[in-house]
């Protein structure tokens, strides 16, 4: 799988994440950088939403189940106007809106996540509700490959397939890393695509940093009418900063230094 060079927009979004870090000095950098293109294409081109009316009933639902990647989500939500940009600079501050994991009270956040393995079940519930109400909205849930070790993910998958939830899409941020080891060493999820197929999903695999591939995958939904969708995105944890890529030390950072901030910004220069 060829991972393409990052374009200007992707670099600028990552720069915003780094500017947040310059205030907070902490955060899950690798998990956020892995996700930027997935969230960017969703919020720029795919999701229906009204940032000034976040609970609009017709909105598409989008849940970041791997909630520790929230620096990427907050960057997009602020840019779209769900809350003032100034909140970004108070990430994890006592007087700020944005904590280290997404909370439902934050405009644009559909579900509180961070305890891995729950977001997909919540999304299945929302999709069942949409089906029951014959609503047009779609539901998207982003999970991690490490998160997929949780049995609850697969209970949700069985239920999604039983109910033929073809307006539901699970997006797997498949960066092959966990918090403190390679995903295959902790609990290998291969064969990933075959697992989702066996659970009754229509499946597509793409490079999760390739904007065109993401666009065309979302346009192709549902992959197989009558089946829920699994979009497996091959990604790189820490994508965009060479020293952070696939480097477990960048899963979560405490006490980020000025030199580290400068190093990140240098690599993300446009
Ligand atoms: C139920 C639960 N167990 C453990 C953790 C601790 N934890 C936080 S991130 C993480 C790794 C997750 O890996 P993955 O889903 O692949 O996400 P990545 O950071 O690689 O994008 C773990 C185990 C947690 N948040 N929730």
Q: Is the CB of 200 under 6 A from ligand 1?
A: no
Residue 94 lies in a domain: yes
- Give residue 1's pLDDT: 55
Radius of gyration of the chain (CA): 17
Q: Is the CB of 141 under 6 A from ligand 1?
A: no
Domain count, the chain: 1
Per-block mean pLDDT, blocks of 10 residues, the chain (270 long): 82 98 97 98 98 98 98 98 98 97 98 98 98 98 98 98 98 96 96 98 98 98 98 98 96 96 97
Determine the residue of 17, 30, 38, 66 to mutate for testing ligand 1's pocket, defined as the one with the most ligand atoms within 8 A of the Cβ atom: 66
Residue 125 lies in a domain: yes
Determine the residue of 146, 170, 174 to mutate for testing ligand 1's pocket, defined as the one with the most ligand atoms within 8 A of the Cβ atom: 146
State the distance from the centre of ligand 1 to the C-alpha of 30, rounded, in angstroms.
12
- Give residue 5's pLDDT: 85
- Give residue 3's pLDDT: 65
Residue 3 lies in a domain: no
Read off the CATH number of the domain in which 131 is found: 3.40.50.970
- Domain of 104? 8-241+252-267
Residue 71 lies in a domain: yes
**CA gap 208, 254 in Å, rounded:** 27
Q: Checking DSSP bridges between strand 61-64 and strand 139-144, what pairing results, if any?
A: parallel
Nearest to 264 by CA among 243, 249, 237, 247: 243
Residue 2 lies in a domain: no
| Average pLDDT over all residues of the chain | 97
**Model pLDDT for residues 174-229, shown as the tens digit of each residue:** 999 999 899 999 999 999 999 999 999 999 999 999 999 999 999 999 999 999 99
**CA gap 230, 142 in Å, rounded:** 10
């Amino acid at each position: 799988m060829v991972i393409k060079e990052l374009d200007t927009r992707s670099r600028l979004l990552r720069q915003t994440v780094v500017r947040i870090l310059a205030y907070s000095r902490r955060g899950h950098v690798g998990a956020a950088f892995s996700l930027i293109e997935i969230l960017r294409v969703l919020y720029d081109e795919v999701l229906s939403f009204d940032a000034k009316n976040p609970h609009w009933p017709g909105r598409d639902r989008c849940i970041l189940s791997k909630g520790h990647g929230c620096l990427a989500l907050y960057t997009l939500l602020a840019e779209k106007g769900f809350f003032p940009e100034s909140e970004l600079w108070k990430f994890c501050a006592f007087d700020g809106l944005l904590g280290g994991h997404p909370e439902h009270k934050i405009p644009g956040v559909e579900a509180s996540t961070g305890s891995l393995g729950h977001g997909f079940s919540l999304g299945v519930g929302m999709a069942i509700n949409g089906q029951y109400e014959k609503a047009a909205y779609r539901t998207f849930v982003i999970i991690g490959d490490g998160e997929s070790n949780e049995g609850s993910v697969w209970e949700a998958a069985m239920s999604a397939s039983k109910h033929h939830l073809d307006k539901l899409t699970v997006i797997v941020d498949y960066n092959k890393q966990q918090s403190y080891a390679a995903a295959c060493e902790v609990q290998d999820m291969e064969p990933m695509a075959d697992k989702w197929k066996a659970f009754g999903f229509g499946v597509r695999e793409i490079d999760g940093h390739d904007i065109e591939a993401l666009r065309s995958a979302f346009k192709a939904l549902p992959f197989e009418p009558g089946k829920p969708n699994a979009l497996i995105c091959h990604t790189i944890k820490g994508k965009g900063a060479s020293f952070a890529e696939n480097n477990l030390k960048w899963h979560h950072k405490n006490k980020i230094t000025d030199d580290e901030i400068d190093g990140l910004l240098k690599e993300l220069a446009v």
